[in-house]
Structure 1
Amino acid sequence: MSAIREKAINALAEAKKVIYGQDKMLDSILAALVCEGHLLIEGMPGLGKTMSVSTMSKLCDLSYKRIQFTPDLLPSDLIGTMIYSQQKEEFSTKFGPIFTQLLLADEINRSPAKVQAALLEAMAEKQVTIGDNTHKLSSPFVVLATQNPIDQEGTYQLPEAQLDRFMMKLEVDYPDFEAEKSILGQKGNFLDDIESVLTTDDILAMKEEVESIYIDEKIKDLIVKIVHSTRPSSDCFDKRFEGAILAGASPRACIWLFKISKFIAYMDNKDFVSPSHVMEIVSGVLGHRLILTYEASIDNLKGTDIAKRIAEKLI
């Protein structure tokens, strides 16, 4: 076992001591940091989404900013703006909270389209344009966004282009009985007692170790075949879902299945990727990328379920 992997396991163990019943969410946040992908976390208010992100930022010793998205939020509140100084008779740049390593976009689907567009450039290009100048963002730069279920009041549907930028979408459920009981004994200021276990250098070194994990040509074929099977125009399309899928997953889905399956294998202490590692993340990577028809919504079909059934048939 590598020393860095042991540190990562210790960091997760520390996080699980204070965040109860949300193990999958904590694992996914670490995957986002190591793979440098953005994570979308959906769940009802009060399930520890924000707390999990702030806990992991402390354990990983990363600079961290939180933005509460609201309907009156402006792009300048997010990325910054140019301010004119009368004394100096010149403009200076005031940088927004997006200039950080770990950005928590809280309730991202409560903000209007122009704010989503400003965030999209940062997520896609890892840079921000303020006035005439383009500014690079720090590395790693990861957006961890939380959103309330779409049917709640005051929420906007995120555009498909932005959804595709998220490496994974995670649906968070209520904790079980024992986990919820453990929350009752929690101290109010437990975040002050958390000390960092990983550093930025550790995360970058871990990224290199993950990239060195072996992935066979057959597994690559499997990944591409799974993604092609979601596209109605493809020869590989799964005919069981004819009339249910309007548009399939993009090539980004292949990239993230490839990268995250390596991370899963690494954390599983394996030096190669197996089909079970791919299967573990299929729903999270593909579910939010499938655009379903109106008929599919009437039949209560979900993108995550369709993705899982397509992959199970091929694996």
Structure 2
Amino acid sequence: MENSIPEIETICRQLMSLERRKKAKMLVVDDEPDNLDLLYRTFRRDFQVLKAESGIQALEVLATEGEVAVIISDQRMPEMKGTEFLSKTVPQFPDTVRIILTGFTDIEDLVDAINSGQVYKYITKPWDPLELKAVVQRATETYELLKQRTEELRRANAQMALLSTIVQVAQVATAVEESLEPIAIAFGENFAADGCILQLVANNSLNSAQGIYSADSPIENWLTEDPLVKEAIVSKQIQGSVNIPADPDLSALNHYTASGIQAHLVIPIIYRDHVLAILSMQWKKPCQLREDEIKLIHLSAQQVALALTSTQAV
């Protein structure tokens, strides 16, 4: 039932590994059916290939499917040139890597598109399949690097915002009860939880003071019934299950089945070996926390303990 932190980290890494093994999405756009089918056959083993016969149709595909890693588009198409289509994808999907196929010399359009960052590379028609595969491989690596950097920046900003919120709460709250909800909201938003509860503990039991965050509909507080909470208070260690439907000790519990929660982490907030509060983070899908996020949870829990004690001293 209960998972130690090393076990939680292992399961999270397994879930992340499965996620990474999914095929990346690619969109191929060409008004010639034979070329479109050839592109599909060339890349279907390595990518989830989406097809469109025009720029307008391609925009509709993106609106439905969302971001793709690579777009390969023919340049000369009716209604909309390839460069015009690609330029329309930049604002919403800045990290997508774009490749143009061209069978004629339209240097001005291509140079403008490349210089403005809308096109990664152009390939002349008829193309060499090996050359095109090599270009797409480099394009995919570029996309993954861009996504990694974007995610690292987002993560750093989110972590700074979380720690900043905790410090700010400690400075402005005049009573410990006032600090609970803003801290719960900060954790819930930072870790994309569906629900988050920060509840005070006294004499190794939960008391009525609580702060609740809910991503959508209101959530119920069933922590007094939860075995993970009881174990976290007793052991003074993080407890959790990252995949409750697969956990026979938890999946049959009424509060999990009724709430639809599929992952639950319980973090004891400890100061000088005393449990001051319990932080409960809940997700309606199996958890995919990264190692750095778990480290942030440890660090933030220490900051929350300081915030609560400083507020109690006011």
TM range (shorter): under 0.3
> When the two structures are superposed, what TM-score results if normalisation uses the length of structure 2?
0.24
Higher strand share: 2
Higher Cα Rg, which structure? 2
| TM-score with structure 1 setting the length | 0.24
